[in-house]
Structure 1
Amino acid sequence: MQCLLPETSKMQVTLRENGRVARLALPLRFVFSEHPVFRQMLAKARSEPSVAMLELDFSRVEYLDSAALGMLRCLIDAETRLVIRLLNPCQTVRELLEMAELQAV
């Protein structure tokens, strides 16, 4: 696995499966203030030509706000190259994703 940002970052991108999959580990609180870092992480993942899938790992996320839902919706609607997968949301987060119709990605 290759880390694309410093380990001190709240979010971290790792490459797996010979660089074909980028996994973005989301922070405990995925909120509006995370937008700049989220965009930076997406740019890092997209800059790798071999990456075909982006996995968003929700395993640490306990809270997300409407801005985070909006960031996810924009990513899903705008992404043309990468397959997006949402992984490991807790029950509360899963319910929010379902209400926002993001669960089937």
Structure 2
Amino acid sequence: MTQKVLRVPEKFDFSCHKNFNAQTDQLLKDPEVTVIALDFSTVHYLDSAALGMVIYLQKKAKAVQRKVIIQHAHGTAKDILKVANIAQFIEIHD
């Protein structure tokens, strides 16, 4: 199991869409990567587009037998993930 960490930007919104998809698509193409860990340690803001990107990544990962986890979420970002019930789809680690 090889885990790759992708640091999510402080302001995670639709403006991150192109870069986020390019980075995650590259990780999904790498046969060595079995887990993509989204590092939320610096995230202070995320919107519904960001939540959609995370859910879509999880669906793409599942289709190729990969796993997505969220780690180090805190404050408002953690609260938003909780309210959006993201843990129903993706493991959230402290």
- The answer for the alignment partner of 2:4 in structure 1 is 22
Distance in 1 of aligned mates of 2:60 and 2:31? 18
Q: Which has the larger radius of gyration?
A: 1
Shift of 1:58: 0.2
Give the count of matched residue pairs: 87
State the secondary structure of the residue aligned to 1:52.
strand
TM-score normalised according to structure 1 size: 0.76
RMSD in angstroms over aligned alpha carbons? 1.4
State the secondary structure of the residue aligned to 1:53.
strand
Q: Percent identity among equivalent residues?
A: 31
- The answer for the alignment partner of 1:79 in structure 2 is 61
Higher relative CO (Cα under 8 Å, sequence separation at least 6) belongs to 2
State the secondary structure of the residue aligned to 1:67.
helix
Give structure 2 stretches of 5+ with no counterpart: none
Name segments (4+ residues, structure 1) moved above 3 Å.
none
Give structure 1 stretches of 5+ with no counterpart: 1-16
